Amino acid sequence: MRHPSNVPVRLTDYRPADFLIDSVALDFRLDRTATRVVATLTLRRNPKGVPGAALVLDGDELTLVSLKLDGRALGPQEYEATPDRLTLSAVPDGPFTLEIETRVDPTANTQLSGLYRSGSAYCTQCEAEGFRRITYFLDRPDVLSVYTTRIEADEREAPVLLANGNPVEAGKIAGGSRHYAVWRDPFPKPSYLFALVGGDLGVVRDSFTTMSGREVALAIYVEHGKEARAEYAMDALKRSMRWDEEKFGREYDLDVFNIVAVSDFNMGAMENKGLNVFNDKYVLASPETATDGDYAGIEAVIAHEYFHNWTGNRITCRDWFQLCLKEGLTVFRDHEFSADMRSRPVQRISEVRGLRLVQFPEDAGPLAHPVRPSVYHEINNFYTSTVYEKGSELVRMLRTLIGAETFRRGMDIYFERFDGTAATVEDFLSCFAEASGRDLSQFALWYSQAGTPVLSSEGAYDPDAKTFTLTLKQETRPTPGQTDKKPVVIPVALALFSENGQKLDLASRDARPEELSRGLVELTGAERRLTFENVPSRPIVSLLRGFSAPVRLEPAPASADLERQLAFDDDPFNRWQAAQSLALRAIFARVDAARQGAAAPEAPGYVAALRTLLVGADADPAFAAQALSLPSVIDLAREAGSDVDPDVHHAARMGLRAEIGGALRADAEAAYARFADKGPYRPDAAGAGRRALRAVALDLVAAGDPQKGGALAQELFRNAGNMTDRLSALTTLALLGGDAREAAFESFYKQFADDPLVLDKWFSLQATIPEPATTQRVIKLMSHPDFSLTNPNRLRALIGAFANANLTCFHALDGSGYDLLTRVVLDVDPRNPQVAARLLSSLRAWRTLEARRRALVEAKLRDIVAREGLSADTRDIATRALA
């Protein structure tokens, strides 16, 4: 395990590497506990490096077996080797070869970084700094090399041998059961994109003809017997390949594209060149085992990793500070893909929900950092929602500002100019500055400034002059280490509607003509005032349409305006936003009343609006399902911003839910019946929308009439033809409680005991039951034979779900939730620091809690940082969380 270093890595300290590695030949002899790796590197001095500098290669827990320079074995006095560094002070300037033999133990590698075992397979994970756990190397993204990989293994144990690039050669080794395969990747790449896999795996094959007519052999490797469950992923892969050609002109470049699904994986998936390795959660699906959400997730992650081939692999990052260069851009591309494959408005709503759920709290708390951070202690902790999701929002904003066509031209310049290089955010932006002729220096602030800007608006109507004056202001609050915030450029998409829902033409002397014609004004300073003319009556303002910038908009319009917006705004995102704002207002009114001991106020206007949505749901069930869903307790905590008491928020939310359920009972029952599944299950957006609406209807029935809801849920649970419906039934039963719930959990377990991905759902759902007994249930589940502290998916399913999605239990006033989390974090930390640190990040918003809970968390964090032997990852999160 790497131990904390007190030396931070800073963006301003970037220096080119002192050496370049043109080619790498790797020779692996796979063995469960003693794999031998021979790496032959062709090196030369980098003209941009420090002249005469020693060659210092990175390592991590490595055992050096032997070392040769230009074929000559080196004696121990000629180099210095420690587990985490290999130093050679005297090396030639011109090209020379270094042959390094190391020995690694894949079975003991519980960190799942480097070469490790997942089930009976060997696999690797090298991003960000895992390659140095395989061999000594210049393990940094700006050192690009051509790789040849030879793998040798026992054929009975590992009939399948894969690495990056194209297959070159394979055969048996005489005199035994061993065989080998050689792969060559002609595209220079950084070490973090290296991968190999060896194992006994089933495979699904297909092929794809690229836009220039080249045939690519596609394969997805999975556990034997699960091949049929990879069909949807294969279909998503082919659609992704076609989409990238059509939308970005990007063609695939190797003869093969391989995907391997493994069950032990720290993250979602990894874009290794030509050999993507996936968490099996994002590959395997069947109607009986996967929900609509799982299918959508598979489609998105398959696309994401495939799109990295151009945005990440062909053009990679100069250093890890530029992570958003590949991640933000690739998330933007996968979001666009999903929008094209499914419903664009529903996709946008779910993107924004995701952003607000994790990124906004991150940006408002002690772990806040810019999309491009300027300092880190542990890079693994920067695979964050800020880098990914906010990073994607920045690319989207850029497109909004310069227009889709100019954006595409900028992308073409980017691909053309930076192909084969390790680039920076500045390189990226320069392409769009050139394409648009705009100065993007203020836009660049979005990359360096942390925190979510607050956009506030104020409107004043003058009935005599028939003018409407809109004042927009922005402010970004200080974040750790950044007190002085400058105004950023905010594209504000807007429209004005008359009271009867007519969209008004925008006329104003305070805006440029193209701002008015596009309905997009730019706020570049702290404040901007716009007076609109020819406004016949007080207008309804639709602001930040389509969520045109990642900001918090304050205040929400008056309720009467929100109700109108929900009825007639032609921007679906803002219709959904209006429903959310109404719900938030209704819940917070209940919170206030509860705090004052007053009777709960009702929200008849909101309820009436929901009735209209429910009755008219047939037009777009997926949208209606989103608009009918109440904000979660996490949403409430974020919106409250301070003095958060999840118990009070949960009670108010449940109160409003009961009010809605009571009022809409008949409509909900009717919708539940109307949206019953017809025909065979299809994982498409239309079917998913109907099922989502039906799940919302079931929840409303249960809210208004628990008995009826329970009966319907039991029936659905028994007869469901797919996992989506079965899980919505179980979710309803979980909330209702009682014997029916326990019986359903038991029968679910019996039915799916052999299916790890389904069991994850079983663990998760139990962990999120919002009642005090859940903490004990979770503790008990930790002794369940199917629980495991070593499988990241299982750990996230139980502990991650508890800490992130069960706020009332996790934040219980007796501290039991915090005890549970910290116990697990400390237990997991020595084995898998990345996963431990990520679990601990669930405390990202602790400073917004009310004082008693805050004190409990602070004590826990102080206790953690005082521990000796903590990993760099966990120490970094705990230390920053206390900032």
Q: Which of positions 162-181 make contact with Zn ion (CB under 5 A)?
A: none
Please tell me whether residue 873 binds ligand 0A1 under the rule CB under 6 A. Answer: no
Q: Which of 99, 264, 271, 571: binder of ligand 0A1 (CB under 6 A)?
A: 271
Q: Which of positions 329-388 make contact with Zn ion (CB under 5 A)?
A: 330
Taking CB within 5 to 8 Å according to partner kind, which of Zn ion, ligand 0A1, none is near residue 227? none
Helices (H), 122-261: 231-248
Give 125 or 400: the residue with its C-beta nearer to ligand 0A1: 125
Closest CB 791 distance from ligand 0A1, rounded Å: 16
Annotation says 305 is catalytic: yes
Please tell me whether residue 327 binds ligand 0A1 under the rule CB under 6 A. Answer: yes
The site for ligand 0A1, by CB under 6 A, has a size of 15
Please tell me whether residue 392 binds ligand 0A1 under the rule CB under 6 A. Answer: no
- Residue pair 646/657 in contact (Cβ under 8 Å)? The answer is no
Closest CB 297 distance from ligand 0A1, rounded Å: 12
Taking CB within 5 to 8 Å according to partner kind, which of ligand 0A1, Zn ion, none is near residue 625? none
State the CB neighbour count (10 A cutoff) for residue 512: 11
Tokens of 250: 């990007």
Q: Which of 91, 218, 269, 325: binder of ligand 0A1 (CB under 6 A)?
A: 269
- Residue pair 33/108 in contact (Cβ under 8 Å)? The answer is yes
Residue nearest ligand 0A1, CB atom distance: 267
Please tell me whether residue 279 binds ligand 0A1 under the rule CB under 6 A. Answer: no
Binding mask 802-841 for ligand 0A1 (x = CB under 6 A): --------------------------------x-------
Please tell me whether residue 139 binds ligand 0A1 under the rule CB under 6 A. Answer: no
The radius of gyration of the chain's CA atoms, rounded to the nearest angstrom, is 28
State the CB neighbour count (10 A cutoff) for residue 472: 22
C-alpha 320/C-alpha 334 separation (Å) is 21
Q: Active-site residue among 99, 152, 305, 351? A: 305
Give 331 or 544: the residue with its C-beta nearer to ligand 0A1: 331
C-alpha 259/C-alpha 277 separation (Å) is 6
Q: What phi and psi, each to the nearest 5 degrees, are found at residue 694?
A: -65, -35
Measured at the alpha carbon of residue 67, what is the angle toward residues 64 and 70, in degrees to the nearest 5?
A: 160
Tokens of 425: 């955010």
Which range of residues in 269-277, 491-499, 602-610, 737-745 is near ligand 0A1 by CB under 6 A?
A: 269-277
C-alpha 849/C-alpha 862 separation (Å) is 17
Measured at the alpha carbon of residue 640, what is the angle toward residues 474 and 692, in degrees to the nearest 5?
A: 100
C-alpha 516/C-alpha 505 separation (Å) is 8
Query: Residue 828 is which amino acid?
Result: V
**Dihedral over Cα of 401, 402, 405, 408: its sign:** negative
Please tell me whether residue 714 binds ligand 0A1 under the rule CB under 6 A. Answer: no
- Residue pair 775/806 in contact (Cβ under 8 Å)? The answer is no
Binding mask 358-387 for ligand 0A1 (x = CB under 6 A): ----------------------x--x----
β-pairing, 96-104 vs 35-45, is: antiparallel
The alpha carbon torsion through 807, 710, 655, 627 (nearest 10 deg) reads 80
Please tell me whether residue 561 binds ligand 0A1 under the rule CB under 6 A. Answer: no
Closest CB 202 distance from ligand 0A1, rounded Å: 23
Taking CB within 5 to 8 Å according to partner kind, which of Zn ion, ligand 0A1, none is near residue 774? none
Query: Residue 18 is which amino acid?
Result: D
Which range of residues in 266-274, 424-432, 587-595, 622-630 is near ligand 0A1 by CB under 6 A?
A: 266-274
Specify the residue for token string 């120490």: 875
Residues in Cβ contact with 814 at an 8 Å cutoff, skipping those fewer than 6 apart: none
Closest CB 316 distance from ligand 0A1, rounded Å: 11
Give 327 or 389: the residue with its C-beta nearer to Zn ion: 327
C-alpha 360/C-alpha 638 separation (Å) is 8
Instruction: List for the chain the helix, strand, coil content (%; round to 5).
Output: 45, 20, 35
Give 330 or 457: the residue with its C-beta nearer to Zn ion: 330
H or E element that contains 617: none
C-alpha 491/C-alpha 477 separation (Å) is 19
Closest CB 303 distance from Zn ion, rounded Å: 11
β-pairing, 85-88 vs 80-82, is: antiparallel
Please tell me whether residue 266 binds ligand 0A1 under the rule CB under 6 A. Answer: yes
Q: Which of positions 486-505 make contact with ligand 0A1 (CB under 6 A)?
A: none
Please tell me whether residue 152 binds ligand 0A1 under the rule CB under 6 A. Answer: no
Which range of residues in 42-50, 321-329, 349-357, 844-852 is near Zn ion by CB under 5 A?
A: 321-329
Q: Which of 270, 578, 636, 836: binder of ligand 0A1 (CB under 6 A)?
A: 270
Closest CB 687 distance from ligand 0A1, rounded Å: 27
Taking CB within 5 to 8 Å according to partner kind, which of Zn ion, ligand 0A1, none is near residue 125? ligand 0A1
Helical pair 292-307 and 723-736, crossing angle rounded to 10 deg: 120
Taking CB within 5 to 8 Å according to partner kind, which of Zn ion, ligand 0A1, none is near residue 268? ligand 0A1
User: Coil, helix or strand for 749?
Assistant: helix
C-alpha 813/C-alpha 836 separation (Å) is 23
Query: Residue 120 is which amino acid?
Result: S
- Residue pair 856/364 in contact (Cβ under 8 Å)? The answer is no
C-alpha 399/C-alpha 247 separation (Å) is 14
Please tell me whether residue 791 binds ligand 0A1 under the rule CB under 6 A. Answer: no
Closest CB 330 distance from ligand 0A1, rounded Å: 7
Closest CB 125 distance from ligand 0A1, rounded Å: 5
Residue of 665, 663, 723, 726 lying closest to 697 (CA atoms): 665
Q: Which of positions 70-129 make contact with ligand 0A1 (CB under 6 A)?
A: 125, 127-128
Which range of residues in 107-115, 327-335, 373-381, 697-705 is near Zn ion by CB under 5 A?
A: 327-335
Give 305 or 319: the residue with its C-beta nearer to ligand 0A1: 305
- Residue pair 119/223 in contact (Cβ under 8 Å)? The answer is yes
Q: Which of 27, 31, 142, 305: binder of ligand 0A1 (CB under 6 A)?
A: 305
Closest CB 313 distance from Zn ion, rounded Å: 11
Q: What phi and psi, each to the nearest 5 degrees, are found at residue 733?
A: -65, -35
C-alpha 257/C-alpha 143 separation (Å) is 24
Please tell me whether residue 357 binds ligand 0A1 under the rule CB under 6 A. Answer: no
Taking CB within 5 to 8 Å according to partner kind, which of Zn ion, ligand 0A1, none is near residue 99? none
Which range of residues in 99-107, 323-331, 367-375, 596-604 is near Zn ion by CB under 5 A?
A: 323-331
Which range of residues in 268-276, 542-550, 740-748, 774-782 is near ligand 0A1 by CB under 6 A?
A: 268-276
Taking CB within 5 to 8 Å according to partner kind, which of Zn ion, ligand 0A1, none is near residue 380? ligand 0A1
Q: Which residues bind Zn ion (CB under 5 A)?
A: 327, 330
Which residues are designated catalytic?
305
Q: Which residues bind ligand 0A1 (CB under 6 A)?
A: 125, 127-128, 266-271, 304-305, 327, 380, 383, 834
